[in-house]
């Protein structure tokens, strides 16, 4: 890593000062954590794959008009992003029961939900990211009602678009987590998609076999974690046989 001012270090990424004001460099690490940091490990090559996968998905979303913080990928592990003021809410969209929803309500994993469900969690490691309601978010001033409306509308568009994109490559988008930020441009504020979209924060199951191709392989010690991330990248057409050089479109699965 070059010597640059480190702005923030999270569990899976480091943010450095960017080359121009208003930009940051997002560096993807191989570190993996689960269960609020109680389980720690390294998934070799994960950072490189997530950098590419997130670049790909953020670029496609931007093409359909979803504003994001992503500017461009810089190298194997780094991407240039716009500096935003992160809203301290994790927005989870669910299509199929899994993880904490299955546990909380006793719904077997894999049960399709009657409609997509959105949940909010307050970003706080000390408090273990508690689930919160709109009332908490607006009353405590974490986001204004209008911000929240924008976040929900964008999340539903992301869900529709990504569900279709993954279905086309034989993957079911079970659930995922998004983060948003405020981007200031000449006194105007816009809510944009921030952080990353990768198998670290999505549940992706093979349509035919229900095989898990995401971080649950790490959480549940299922093995072949790196291979799963690689398989997602391969199906997206961003990891051709010869290595992660050529960027092609996704291969449709019949």
Residue ranges in 20-79 that form contacts with ligand UDP under rule CB under 6 A? none
CA-wise closest residue to 165 among 247, 53, 57: 57
CA-wise closest residue to 93 among 193, 189, 11: 193
Residue ranges in 171-190 that form contacts with ligand UDP under rule CB under 6 A? 175-177
* Min dist. Cβ of residue 31 to ligand UDP (A): 14
Tell me 3's DSSP state: -
Question: Per CB under 6 A, does 96 bind ligand UDP?
Answer: no
Q: Which is nearer to ligand UDP, 38 or 186 (CB)?
A: 38
Question: Per CB under 6 A, does 88 bind ligand UDP?
Answer: no
Q: In sequence order, which residues have a C-beta less than 8 Å from that of residue 227 and are 6 or more positions away?
A: none
| Rounded CA separation 153/193 (Å) | 12
Residue ranges in 200-219 that form contacts with ligand UDP under rule CB under 6 A? 201-203, 215
Widest pairwise Cα distance in the chain: 53
SS3 per-residue string spanning 101-147: HHHHHCCCCCCEEEEEEEEEEECCCCCCCCEECHHHHHHCCCCCHHH
In the set 84, 92, 97, 197, which binds ligand UDP (CB under 6 A)?
92
Q: Alpha carbon 8 to chain centroid distance?
A: 18
In the set 30, 31, 109, 129, which binds ligand UDP (CB under 6 A)?
129
In the set 33, 100, 116, 138, which binds ligand UDP (CB under 6 A)?
100
Span interacting with ligand UDP, options 18-26, 67-75, 170-178, 205-213, rule CB under 6 A: 170-178
Residues that bind ligand UDP (CB under 6 A): 90, 92, 98-101, 129, 175-177, 201-203, 215
């Amino acid at each position: 890593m070059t010597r640059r001012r480190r702005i923030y270090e999270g569990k899976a990424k480091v943010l450095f000062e960017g080359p121009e004001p208003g930009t940051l460099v997002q560096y993807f690490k191989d570190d993996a954590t689960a269960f609020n940091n109680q389980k720690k490990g390294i998934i070799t090559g994960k950072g490189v794959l997530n950098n590419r996968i997130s670049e790909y998905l953020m670029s496609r979303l931007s093409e359909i008009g979803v504003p994001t913080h992503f500017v461009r990928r810089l190298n194997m592990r780094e991407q240039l992003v716009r500096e935003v003021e992160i809203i301290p809410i994790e927005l989870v969209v669910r299509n199929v029961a899994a993880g904490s929803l299955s546990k909380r309500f006793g719904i077997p994993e894999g049960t399709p939900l009657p409609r997509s469900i959105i949940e909010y969690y307050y970003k706080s490691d000390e408090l273990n990211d508690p689930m919160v309601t709109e009332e908490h978010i607006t009353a405590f001033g974490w986001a204004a009602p209008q911000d929240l409306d924008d976040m929900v509308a964008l999340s539903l568009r992301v869900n529709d678009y990504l569900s279709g994109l993954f279905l086309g490559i034989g993957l079911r988008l079970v659930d995922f987590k998004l983060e948003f930020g405020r981007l200031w441009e000449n006194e105007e504020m816009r809510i944009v998609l921030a952080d990353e979209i990768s198998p670290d924060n999505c549940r992706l199951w093979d349509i035919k076999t229900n095989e898990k191709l995401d971080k649950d392989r790490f959480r549940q010690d299922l093995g072949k974690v790196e291979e799963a991330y690689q398989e997602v990248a391969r199906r997206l057409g961003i990891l051709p046989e010869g290595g992660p050089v050529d960027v092609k479109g996704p291969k449709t699965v019949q």
